[in-house]
Amino acid sequence: MKPSRRDTLTGLAAGAASLILPGKAWAQTSFDGEYGGVIDLGTVKLRMRLVIAGDAATLYSLDQGNSPIPASKMERKDWSLLLEFEVIKARFEGRLNGSVLSGTFTQGRPIPLRLERGVIPVDPKDLSGFTGGMMSQVLLGQIRERLGTPGMAIGWQRKKGAVQQLFTGLRAAGHPEPLLQDDLWHIGSITKSFTATLFARMVQARAIRWDTPLGELLANTPEHYRALTAFELLSHHGGLPANAPVGDLLTLPRSEKNPRSSRRRFADSAMAQPPVAKPQARFAYSNVGYVLAAIMLENATGQTWEKLIRREVLRPLGLKSAGFGPPGSVKLIDQPRGHVGGASVHMDNPVAMAPAGGLHMSLADLLKYLAAHRDKPKYLGTAQWQELHTPRFGSSYSLGWFVRKNADLWHNGSNTAWYAEVIVEPASGLVAATCNNDTALIPRPRVLFPSIRRAAGIAQ
């Protein structure tokens, strides 16, 4: 839960244009130039590029799409510089000393950032030389070594074809236990499509409606959120913040037999924050929306999201390996472990957030789930499958899925210690998934799918 990913420079705006601030003439300054550096977010390091030309400054995150992020404000005094980036709710305060601009980048929390003029950092984990061929056991091993990832697993299946699985590496860094084919993987925000599928299932059972207002099922919902429905909540168009405040998150339990009360605490804390946009106005990725949708289902049925997802999604689709939170036990390396800063961890986000990103399962079961979204069995009616896969409010996000123009479905997920990616291609009949027990692929989305397509016999 992209942070979650979205705690790591999230919201870097794709397609934003460079901005010349109004009311000032362009003038050469001592700050002019191109700067580069690496920002260390703990679980991931991102290469940054900053271009300053007169009264305009533009930031680029080279590992997150390299799209321009224009500064909305620039202030200079002597050798000090202040930049604000309204589109990503961030700011940089630094001081120029020779060719080095050192300071603090703040986006939710302050992070030291050193930028050097004329130096653009090279990606030490560049995969460009590894992804032009056909996926194989040997190639996957080479990619894993290049990334420095403890363990990786990938799988794919063409319609009516056999399931293919490859895996390489260890369950945990510093431990000898190798990965096994049936090992379990945390899938992070890919869980969102499971929660959306559950909602469709409950609509079909007439336990709730797609257009049931949030305020109808949640007492004391703030006025500006009361009219939100599953369409806004599950498509990230509710104008909700990404998460509850960090301080409140730290007080919530990581495991709990009945998380309904802590889930409501999470929701109340999150909704006490001001909206980030008007409903339906723009896409704003939010774990909160999925927690609220789960609370609606819990209040409508009297059952926890955990019980509902098992009864209505996991069991009917035959996903016997699926469970909640990090797989395996705390004391034994009996399943893969997530990794933070190279060290293995057995951790997850608060259980209140599980509907937004708390599932784990085997790779084979994950492919089985993807095949259901490809084949659209009678488990759901045609109308419900259509609702799940239709992009909303002019965006490319449906209900739990990013949807490409050719109708392909894609999503990824991370709880900051794991990373997984999935794709469903109706036209080619391909479903595919990649799983890492670290976050090395977060800045490289979709990079493995071309070689998987070649292995599956799909023309590029």
- Mean pLDDT for 383-387 is 98
Q: How far apart are CA 206 and CA 183, in angstroms?
A: 36
Q: Is the pLDDT of residue 105 over 70?
A: yes
Query: pLDDT at residue 1 above 70?
Result: no
**By residue range, what is the domain housing residue 29?**
5-117
Structure tokens, 336: 């893969």
**Domain co-membership, 113 together with 193:** no
* SS3 of residue 374 by DSSP: helix
Cα dihedral sign for 442, 446, 451, 453? positive
Are 227 and 371 members of one domain?
yes
Q: What is the pLDDT of residue 8?
A: 37
**Domain membership flag for residue 131:** no
Instruction: Specify if 339 maps to a domain.
Output: yes
How many domains in the chain?
2
With respect to residue 50, please indicate whether it lies within any of the assigned structural domains: yes
Type of residue found at 51: V
389 within a domain of the structure (yes/no): yes
What is the distance between the alpha carbons of residues 94 and 207, in angstroms, rounded to a whole number? 55
314's CB contacts (< 8 A; 6+ apart) are 320, 322
- Whether 60 is covered by a domain: the verdict is yes
Same domain, 348 and 227: yes
23-36 pLDDT, tens per residue? 333 333 589 999 99
Average pLDDT score over residue span 386-408? 97
- Residue 87 to residue 69: CA distance in whole angstroms: 7
Give 320-344 pLDDT, tens digit per residue. 999 999 999 999 999 999 999 899 9
- Rounded Cα distance, 46 and 40, in Å: 7
Arithmetic mean of pLDDT, 209-216? 98
Looking at the structure, do residues 242 and 335 belong to the same domain, yes or no? yes
- Checking if the pLDDT of 248 tops 60, the result is yes
Span 160-167, average pLDDT: 96
186, containing H or E segment: strand 184-186
Which pLDDT band holds residue 370 (cuts at 50, 70, 90)? very high
pLDDT tier at 454, thresholds 50, 70, 90: very high
- The residue among 117, 143, 175 that closes a domain is 117
CA distance 379 to 34: 55
Q: What share of the chain is helix, strand, coil (3-state, %, to 5)?
A: 25, 25, 50
Structure tokens at 321: 């390996």
Q: Is residue 432 part of a domain?
A: yes
Is the domain of 216 the same as that of 93? no
Residue 324's pLDDT is what?
A: 97
- Reported pTM: 0.82
Q: Which of the four pLDDT bands, split at 50, 70 and 90, describes residue 4? A: very low
List the structure tokens of 349. Answer: 């986000």
Q: Is residue 457 part of a domain?
A: no
Measure the CA–CA gap between 239 and 233, rounded to whole angstroms.
9
Q: Residue 96: which CATH number?
A: 2.40.128
What pLDDT does 29 receive?
54
Collapsing DSSP states into helix, strand and coil, what is residue 303?
A: coil
Chain segment 51-102, per-residue pLDDT in tens: 998 889 999 888 776 778 999 999 998 899 999 998 888 999 999 999 999 9
Residues 111, 195 share a domain:
no
Instruction: State whether 322 and 203 are in the same domain.
Output: yes
60 and 194 co-located in one domain: no
Q: Position of tokens 């271009």?
A: 51
Q: Which of 117, 145, 177 is the last residue of a domain?
A: 117
- Same domain? For 201 and 90 the reply is no
Among 117, 141, 176, the domain-final residue is 117
Specify the pLDDT at position 132.
87
Q: Where are the beta strands (DSSP E) in 276-418?
A: 323-324, 338-340, 343-345, 359-362, 402-403, 409-413
Residue 295 has pLDDT above 60, yes or no: yes
Do 93 and 216 belong together in one domain?
no
Q: Give the CATH number of the domain where residue 384 resides.
A: 3.40.710.10
**101 in the same domain as 236:** no
**Is residue 211 located within the same domain as residue 342?**
yes
Residue 64 lies in a domain: yes
Query: Distance (Å, rounded) from C-alpha 188 to C-alpha 195?
Result: 12
Please say if the pLDDT value at position 19 is more than 90.
no
Q: Which amino acid is at 184?
A: L
